[in-house]
Amino acid sequence: MIESLSARRGLLVLLLAVPVAVAADSDALLARMQHAARNLDYDGIFVYQRGDQLDSLRVVHKAGAGGVRERLISLNGAPREIIRNDREVHCYLPDEDAVLIEHRRADQRNFPALLPESLAALEQNYRIRIGKEGRVAGRKTRAVVIKPRDELRYGYQLWADKATGLLLKAGLVDEHGALIEQYMFTQITIGHPVSEDALKPQTPAGEFIRQPPRAADAGNTPQGWRAGELPAGFALTASMRRPPQGSRPAMEHLVYSDGLAVVSVFIEPLAEHEQGLPLDGVTRMGAVHVFGRSTDGYQVTAMGEVPAATVSMIGNSVRLQP
């Protein structure tokens, strides 16, 4: 009887410990993904699929004391070549004989570096668990399944290389469990030194077009725009003013995020000579929902890879603060 009671207690302790162990494993794997994407050298080809759109790109990534440097080359469609570091993005456009230079946003994330700097808050809004083992680009992988705790954000399926932790495949899943978009390496070399020549653009330079720097203190101006209602876990992560470009007036740009999902809000004056009607309501472009409304002579547009209810909530609550 005593032995039976002791065995039951042991089984109960084991069962209670399983969720903690699973959570620790998933947290550790996410941390490995985050570290690998920023600190390993790699050279690979990946595909990006969204609906009927399929793009193939090569990425060359080098990490060092001076920061991260990358070269991204489009392998189908219009020729494009992007050279980026922690400060700037140079986009080579051979069909336009031009190079567009922009300042890189601090919150900008690109595959395979899709995870935020801080992972601590994710479990407040997502359920995270270890998934199955598999193979991607000929390498053994382990999956992490990230499911939202509400219907105001999408889920994620991530496959990490078992040997290095590098994210090799990522899928975005909607509220019905359907795959909306995915990234996947088809071939990759990890950990081999990347030469300086591999990071140099192969496209002729053409005309350099430098975009003006964007102010990062737009939210501190006397007339700042803010969203009054946000889904749980979302917070303002960036606020900037885009200067006028040609006939287009200055534009306010707000970025809200929960660490994974991101919603951008643009506010610009409604021009009387503007052709066509401004967006009113919600529309969808692949994985992206876009909400628009006009208020007090301004057009407010909220967009992101989130459900329609999320962009509607945020976009409808944006007001000019006194």
Instruction: Give per-residue pLDDT as tens, 209-233.
Output: 666 555 544 444 445 899 999 999 9
Is the CB of residue 183 less than 8 Å from the CB of residue 177?
A: no
> pTM of the full predicted structure?
0.83
What's the pLDDT at 106? 53
User: 55: pLDDT confidence band, cut at 50, 70 and 90?
Assistant: very high
Tens-place pLDDT, residues 125-159: 999 999 999 999 999 999 999 999 999 999 999 99
Closest CA to 40 of 197, 200, 168, 186: 168
Instruction: Give the distance, in angstroms, between the CA of residue 310 and the centroid of all CA atoms in the same chain.
Output: 16
Question: What is d(CA 271, CA 178) in angstroms, rounded to the nearest whole number?
Answer: 39
Domains of the chain: 13-207 (2.50.20.10), 212-321 (3.30.200.100)
Residue 21 pLDDT: 41
Residue 307 contacts residue 149 (beta carbons within 8 Å)? no
Say yes or no to pLDDT of 49 above 60. yes
Number of Cβ atoms within 10 Å of the Cβ of 299:
19
Sheet hosting strand 167-173, strand order edge to edge: 126-136, 139-148, 155-161, 167-173, 179-190, 42-50, 53-64, 67-74, 81-84, 88-93, 98-103, 207-210
Count of Cβ atoms closer than 10 Å to residue 263 Cβ: 26
Pairwise CA distance, residues 235 & 27, whole Å: 22
pLDDT of residue 182 exceeding 90: yes
Q: Please give the span between the terminal C-alpha atoms of the chain, in angstroms, as a whole number.
A: 73
Segment 109-133, tens digit of pLDDT: 789 999 887 788 898 999 999 999 9
pLDDT digits (tens, 9 = 90+) for 57-94: 999 999 988 889 999 999 998 889 999 988 889 898 88
Long-range contacts of 38-41 (CB under 8 A, 24+ apart): 38/63, 38/68, 38/113, 39/63, 40/164, 40/166, 40/190, 40/191, 41/190, 41/191, 41/192, 41/193, 41/194
For the chain, counts of helices (H) and of strands (E): 2, 20
**Amino acid occupying residue 81:** E
Pull the structure tokens for residue 250: 């200055």
